[in-house]
Chains A and B, each alone.
Chain A
Amino acid sequence: MLPEDSNSPMSEVKRVLVADDSETVTTVLVTALELEGYEVETARNGVEAYEMGISGRYDLVILDQLMPGMLGLEIIDRWQEEGHEIQTIMLSGVDDERTVVNSFESGAVDFIRKPFRLPELLARVRQRLPN
């Protein structure tokens, strides 16, 4: 499902926002996703992720749950409240049942635990965002 304000709905190149405060995580994801043919931008804290998400530029957001500024769940909740439909995959090192359930209830389309298997993460991204 395309975001409401997608700049180019017929664009062949899909855009992904990777929001994580860990430079290592963003480097790995950016490298892997760019090799898959996606355009990737990054956000290093929750507030930045929230603001970049509502810009409407992204077809998918990979969102870390624990970031400075705003938590991943808070961001998704605000997006939902404000009517922004943004495909989001939650990424978290905390994988207790409550966190996973809350993520889906807030509107995340998928949940990936850290540490993650890169081929599995890419497969889930491809499923959401055929490129």
Chain B
Amino acid sequence: MNATTIGLLAVGIVFVLDIILLVGLVGLKAYHRRRIQSHESRRAAYVAILSRHLASEGSTERIAADAADDDAFIDAVIDLRNVVSGGETETLTGLVDGLGVAERQVAKLRSRFPLGRRLRAAVSLAEIGDESTAPVLIEHLADREPEIRIQCARGLGRMRITMAIDAILERLGREDPWVRVRFADTLIAYGAKATWPLTAYIRVNLGHDENRGVIEAIRVLGTIGDREVGPTLSGVLRVAADPEVQLAAIEALGLVGGPMAIPPLDHALRSSDWRLRAKAATALGHIGDPTVNRALAKRLTDDDWWVRRNSAAALASLPGGDQLLLGAMRSADPFARDAAAEALADIGALTAARQRDEAGLAGEEDLLLLEHVRAGDSVLV
């Protein structure tokens, strides 16, 4: 064979392979579409049957035994659990129990392959919420697949299985950040039940494993917002050497609030680290206690822009803080005047001052603010 023939043969082979691939892709797509349509029609049929069971207590309509293995049936149950509540949820639970759905899903979860089926089983168990599966879900918090671990944690959180909190916490420092965040979401869902386990976790693990889990645990405590953790957070802020831990503690104190949060935050406002000062200013503004106004006003002359900005913003949100901001317009420090002017603009004081000026009713403080803006010393011009 000469080169031309070989070339033509090669082209022909590639062409044929392409046609085969194309036909295969089209066939695969058609098959996939039919599977989805079949799934949807089965799901709709199951929804109809289950609806009749819910609507009529004495319904004897039979659900096929193999429904327990059908993902469409699981989807129908999950959809209905999102629609109805109260006694109907118990009816659904009874129907699901009667078919042995949980056992079948546990078996799928425990199988080695494929991942898709195992993940699907984990999601189903998380959604169905059968408390008898809690030990299996706890076992699989250590599953080799992160998505499965997440779903197991989610399921335990939905069922508020208290004994799972420590198991979830135990994984917190070992997980990748994106998994850790999802575990944290689950802990938040536990609410106050998670407060003391989290507190104990922080005390034991502070200073270990680069504090990854500790930081997340502190954030969860802040989000839960139980004021009783104020002393714990205050202690963490005092003893932690890692500024990231301190920042998390400051933010959490701001969310938790209460009188016990003020002293440690006031102390942090005088930290040598500008990040802690800036974060403390924001946290104090969040708490909303005007007793810190003077301390915040002092920070308007801070060396760091973020500290000045956050302190001014906090003052703008606090009762009486606007007066201190207006007073800061007389400061000899141009940076303090600028921070105050920006915060006053954010709360509408600049617009109000302009309107009063146009009406000939501007007061001394209005004129100071407007003069500062007009003088070009401010980015607000």
Contacts and interface: CB of A to CB of B under 8 A. Distances in A.
Interface string B26-58: 000000000000000000100110011011100
A114 B82 CA distance: 8
B83 A31 contact: no
Contacts, number: 55
Interface string A6-32: 000000000000000011110110011
Interface in B147-185: none
Given A117-B88, A118-B88, A22 B83 contact: yes
A114 B83 contact: yes
Interface residues of B, number: 19
A115 B80 CA distance: 9
Interface string B55-99: 110000000000000000000100111111111100000000000
Contacts of B55: 28, 31-32, 35, 118
B51 A27 contact: yes
A35 B56 contact: yes
Nearest to A30: B51
B84 A28 contact: yes
Q: Is the interface of B mostly helix, strand, loop or mixed?
A: helix
A118 B50 CA distance: 13
Interface in A78-111: none
Nearest to A20: B83
B47 A117 contact: no
Contacts of B83: 22, 24-25, 28, 114-116
Given A32-B55, A35-B56, A117 B44 contact: no
A20 B98 CA distance: 31
A5 B222 CA distance: 57
Q: How many residues of A sit at the interface, in one of the four size bands?
A: 10 to 19
A111 to B, nearest CB: 15
A24 B79 contact: yes
Contacts of A115: 81-85
Contact of A32 (B54, B80, B86): B54
Contacts of B82: 24, 115
Contacts of A32: 51, 54-55
A28 B85 contact: no
A117 B52 contact: no
B48 to A, nearest CB: 6
Nearest to A36: B55
A31 B47 CA distance: 10
A117 B82 CA distance: 11
Nearest to A22: B83
B80 A118 contact: no
Interface string B333-358: 00000000000000000000000000
B48 A31 contact: yes
Contacts of B52: 31, 35
A11 B253 CA distance: 64
A85 to B, nearest CB: 29
Contacts of A35: 52, 55-56
A29 to B, nearest CB: 9
B338 to A, nearest CB: 38
A28 B87 contact: no
Contacts of A28: 47, 51, 54-55, 80, 83-84
A102 B13 CA distance: 69
Nearest to A28: B51
B87 A119 contact: yes
A32 B88 CA distance: 12
A130 to B, nearest CB: 19
30 contacts: A22-B83, A23-B44, A23-B47, A24-B76, A24-B80, A25-B83, A27-B44, A27-B47, A28-B51, A28-B80, A28-B83, A28-B84, A31-B51, A31-B52, A31-B54, A35-B55, A115-B83, A115-B84, A116-B83, A116-B84, A117-B84, A117-B85, A117-B86, A117-B88, A118-B54, A118-B55, A118-B84, A118-B87, A118-B88, A119-B86
Given A23-B44, A115-B82, A115-B85, 5 more contacts: A24-B82, A28-B84, A31-B51, A31-B55, A118-B84
Interface of B: 44, 47-48, 51-52, 54-56, 76, 79-88
Interface of A: 22-25, 27-28, 31-32, 35, 114-120
